[in-house]
Homo-oligomer: A and B are copies of this chain.
Amino acid sequence: MADDLFKALADPTRRIILDELTEKSGQTLFEICSRLSMKHHLGMSRQAVSQHLAVLEGAGLVVTRREGRYKFHDLHTAPLRQIAERWLTADPDRTEPEESTS
């Protein structure tokens, strides 16, 4: 379960997709495709992006809803919350938490 999450985040393209969905949630596959192509110069096939979205959905980071022939992809950040906390609990090196916790 957690494995899917970390594996999903392991790919740079998928992280960019999350960035784009953060900027604008509820995008279609084609919309994400063109954003990757335009903004990030990633010339990938539509299927490649579709597969990435499937992985993200499998990890629970993206939820989808169908409307007619459109399928909208929404970001779901809930699974991210547990990530860092797994090792930050015991936290042996609180060297630079931030500049002076004001």
Contact = CB atoms under 8 A, between A and B. Distances in A.
Contact of A23 (B22, B23, B78, B90): B90
Q: How many copies does the complex hold?
A: 2
B89 A22 contact: yes
B77 A19 contact: no
A101 interface: no
Interface stretch (A39-47, A64-72, A79-87): A79-87
Contact of A78 (B15, B18, B95): B95
Interface size class for chain A? 20 to 34
Given A6-B9, A7-B10, A10-B6, A76 B93 contact: yes
A93 B81 contact: no
A17 B84 CA distance: 15
Contacts of A84: 77, 80-81, 83-84
